[in-house]
């Protein structure tokens, strides 16, 4: 049985003060919801403050990115070791990193290896762009992303994958539950070929892209979807709580 996960990706939003306020609004309610792994991914500068606030609760912490080197002359970067000190999870290969910071398959693969080497659990993001979707190339694109990222990785069972069609991120135009379930089923079959059947059965594959309280049930009613990576809606306490609560109830 795969425990569903709801992860909130706050992206480049919230000052430290705003992060503290948001977690204070979320903490009690989120802590009480069982049967779902709950992960908050605030900006780097708020990790320490958020970590203090969720201490002793069932809420887990994730970072949004890492560099692949453990230390060195990389001004402005944050290493996997620094994050492993604070967090259990890290988002890797988000489409915004691929698009705006030119992260390719090779960089994503290095980051994955580096994260796993220090005991961080990566949330690996993959997904096709609108043009690729319209050209019927979704399966080809996610296969290429999976193959280039997963080449030679150890401990694959610690991995979480988030399927995020780029055209659905931050656009308010989510995929349908059926579409997402179809592609996620395809991803699971590909993982079975790449990493073996038992890993494919154990790995959680989330959907991401304009998930809201209003469409949560559509995704969580699908058998292949093991949760969600939530962007915009994770910045509103009541809405995020509703997404987690609905997931817990639907998956009970």
- Only segment of 74-82, 112-120, 145-153, 229-237 that touches ligand PGA (CB under 6 A): 229-237
Please state, in angstroms and rounded to a whole number, the distance separating the CA atoms of residues 87 and 166: 26
User: Which CB, 93 or 209, lies closer to ligand PGA?
Assistant: 209
Q: Shortest gap between Cβ of 203 and ligand PGA (angstroms)?
A: 18
Supply the angle between the helices 177-195 and 138-150 in degrees, to the nearest 10.
40
Site string for ligand PGA, 150-169 (x = CB under 6 A): --------------x----x
Q: Name the residue nearer to ligand PGA (CB basis): 100 or 152.
A: 100
Give the interface segment with ligand PGA, choosing from 31-39, 98-106, 135-143, 224-232 (CB under 6 A).
224-232
Site string for ligand PGA, 36-65 (x = CB under 6 A): ------------------------------
Q: What share of the chain is helix, strand, coil (3-state, %, to 5)?
A: 50, 15, 35
Helices (H) and strands (E) in the chain, counts: 11, 8
Tell me if 211 contacts ligand PGA by CB under 6 A: yes
Please answer whether residues 168 and 132 qualify as being in contact, where contact means their C-beta atoms are separated by less than 8 angstroms: no
How far is 144 from 146, CA to CA, in rounded Å?
5
Token reading at 245: 């609560």
Compute how many residues bind ligand PGA; rule: CB under 6 A.
13
Q: How far is the CB of 223 from ligand PGA (least distance, A)?
A: 22
Nearer to ligand PGA, 39 or 116 (CB): 39
Q: How many residues belong to the chain?
A: 252
Q: How many CA atoms lie within 13 A of 166 on its CB side?
A: 20
178 is catalytic: no
Q: Which residue is nearest to ligand PGA (CB)?
A: 231
Confirm whether 164 is a catalytic residue: yes
CB of 40 to ligand PGA, least distance (A): 13
Give 180 or 233: the residue with its C-beta nearer to ligand PGA.
233
CA neighbor of 156 nearest in space, from 202, 193, 206:
202
Among 64, 109, 210, 216, binds ligand PGA (CB under 6 A): 210
Contact letters for ligand PGA, residues 168-207 (x by CB under 6 A): -xx-------------------------------------
Q: Between β-strands 121-126 and 5-9, what pairing exists: parallel, antiparallel or unpaired? A: unpaired
Spatial separation of the C-alpha atoms in residues 18 and 235, rounded to whole Å: 10
Does 93 engage in binding with ligand PGA (CB under 6 A)?
no
Nearest one of 239, 220, 252 to 29, comparing CA atoms: 239
Q: How far is the C-alpha of 144 from the C-alpha of 142, rounded, in Å? A: 5
Binding site for ligand PGA (CB under 6 A): 9, 164, 169-170, 208-211, 229-233
Catalytic residues: 94, 164
């Amino acid at each position: 049985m795969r425990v569903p996960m709801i992860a909130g990706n706050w992206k480049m939003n919230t000052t430290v003060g705003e992060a503290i306020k948001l977690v204070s609004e979320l903490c009690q309610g989120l802590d009480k919801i069982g049967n779902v792994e709950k992960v908050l991914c605030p900006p780097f500068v708020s990790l320490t403050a958020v970590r203090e606030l969720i201490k002793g609760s069932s809420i887990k912490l994730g970072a949004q990115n890492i560099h692949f080197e453990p230390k060195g002359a990389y001004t402005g970067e944050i290493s996997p070791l620094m994050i492993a000190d604070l967090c259990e999870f890290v988002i890797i290969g988000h489409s915004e990193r691929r698009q705006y910071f030119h992260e390719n398959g090779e960089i994503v693969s290095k980051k994955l290896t580096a994260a796993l080497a220090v005991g961080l659990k990566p949330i690996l993001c993959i997904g096709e762009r609108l043009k690729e979707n319209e050209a019927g190339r979704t399966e080809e694109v996610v296969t290429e992303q999976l193959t280039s990222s997963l080449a030679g990785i150890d401990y694959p069972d610690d991995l979480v994958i988030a399927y995020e069609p780029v055209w659905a991120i931050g656009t308010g135009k989510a995929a349908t539950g059926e579409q997402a379930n179809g592609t996620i089923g395809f991803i699971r079959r590909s993982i079975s070929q790449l990493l073996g059947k038992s890993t494919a059965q154990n790995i959680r594959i989330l959907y991401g892209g304009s998930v809201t309280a209003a469409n949560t049930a559509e995704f969580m009613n699908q058998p292949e979807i093991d949760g969600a990576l939530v962007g915009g809606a994770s910045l509103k306490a009541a809405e995020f709580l509703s997404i987690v609560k609905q997931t817990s109830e639907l998956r009970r």
